[in-house]
Amino acid sequence: LKKGDRILLVDGVSVSFDGFKALNNLSFSINYGELRCIIGANGAGKSTMMDVVTGKTRPDEGHVVFGEAVDLLGLNEPTIAQIGIGRKFQKPTVFQNNTVFENLELAMKEDKRFFKTLFSKLSGEQEDKIDETLGLIGLKDLVHRQAGILSHGQKQWLEIGMLIMQEPKLLLVDEPVAGMTPQEVENTAEILTNLAKDNAVVVVEHDMEFIRSIAKKVTVLHEGSVLAEGSMDAIQNNEKVRQVYLGE
Ligand code: ADP
Ligand code: MG
């Protein structure tokens, strides 16, 4: 994959829960090297969309294609994770009693591609990968700190680091800055921006200032489909968006 190649296609996806359409003919695509923000009111279908892409929920209609031609609908959740789609849920789930380093190490060793067991020695390549990731998530100075005593923001970054250790090509991140201090929000913007340079990152967020600071392109979901798509400025001036959000 190179920059600008399409990495994800969601094509005409519908999902119903007891007759209620959580996703209604949803279509959008994401390119490699892109940092995309997805916004929308509560109930718009953002989490359901992530559930479909990661294989947790099977759609009633439509297709999800990863890379050139991998049809995700035939694959289960672990397989989808393995082929390069990582998901970060809202609440950080780090190993509290392990150090920052150990958390990254454990995340990597879950990766079958390394064919490593838990107590084997790290290769130079693996150590480099951890070191590089520590730099990216800004936790170099805290490498031997126990994860349980990190701040909320630092835990979120560590969890992003743990996802990076699995070498995903597409990362789905759910509300990364909820509960963060303004300084932490700024750091998170930088981390995700750098991450997207050699990846594709989809962020679901409510914090508009944060979105403005990171996203080139924003997708607005409404009642399970795309209401509008474009730059933050275009979105804010979009007539349909104004009607729905401002009642104009
Ligand atoms: P968002 O993440 O944008 O807030 P969701 O994708 O969580 O929206 O939900 C979209 C709609 O689908 C909501 O109305 C929600 O109540 C409904 N929904 C989501 N998951 C389920 C489920 N497992 N069973 C029934 N209804 C659901
Ligand atoms: Mg949600």
- Cα of 51 vs centre of ligand 2, distance in Å, is 10
d(CA 198, CA 56): 26
Pocket of ligand 1 (CB under 6 A): 17, 22, 40, 42-48
| Closest listed residue to residue 213, CA positions, set 242, 236, 192, 237 | 192
CA of 20 to the centre of ligand 1 (A): 9
Q: What is the pLDDT of residue 113?
A: 46
Domain ranges of the chain: 6-246
Residue with CA at minimum distance from ligand 1 atom 12: 22
CATH superfamily of 6-246: P-loop containing nucleotide triphosphate hydrolases (3.40.50.300)
Ligand 1: which of 48, 58, 172 to mutate, judged by most atoms within 8 Å of the beta carbon?
48
- Reduced DSSP (H G I as helix, E B as strand, rest coil) percent helix, strand, coil of the chain, to 5: 40, 25, 35
Ligand 1 atom 14: residue of nearest CA: 43
Distance CA 242, CA 110 (A): 46
Which residue's alpha carbon is at the smallest distance from atom 16 of ligand 1? 43
What is the model's pLDDT at position 2? 86
Taking the C-alpha atoms of residue 30 and residue 33, their distance in angstroms, rounded to an integer, is 9
Between CA 216 and CA 222, with CA 218 as vertex, the angle to 5 degrees is: 180
Q: Tell which one of 16, 17, 52, 221 to mutate to probe ligand 1, the residue whose CB is within 8 A of the most ligand atoms.
A: 17
Which of the 8 DSSP states describes residue 237? T
Residue with tokens 């067991």: 117
pLDDT at position 118: 54
Say what angle helices 100-109 and 152-164 make with each other, to 10 degrees. 30
Task: Give me the residues of the chain with pLDDT under 50, please.
Answer: 112-115
Query: Among residues 194, 182, 169, which one has the least CA distance to residue 81?
Result: 169
The predicted complex's ipTM stands at: 0.97
Report CA(47)–ligand 1 centroid distance (Å).
Answer: 7
Pick the ligand that lies closest to the CA of residue 22.
1
Backbone conformation region of residue 76, classed left if phi is above 0, alpha if psi is from -120 to 50, else beta = beta
Please identify which residue in the block is written with the tokens 């930088």: 190
How far apart CA 173 and CA 116 sit, in angstroms, is: 27
Ligand that comes closest to the CA of residue 14: 1
Is the pTM higher than 0.95? The answer reads: no
Q: How far is ligand 2, taken at its centre, from the CA of residue 193, in Å? A: 22
Centroid of ligand 2 to alpha carbon of 223 (angstroms): 13
Question: Residue 17 is encoded by which pair of tokens?
Answer: 């829960």
What is the identity of the amino acid at 187? N
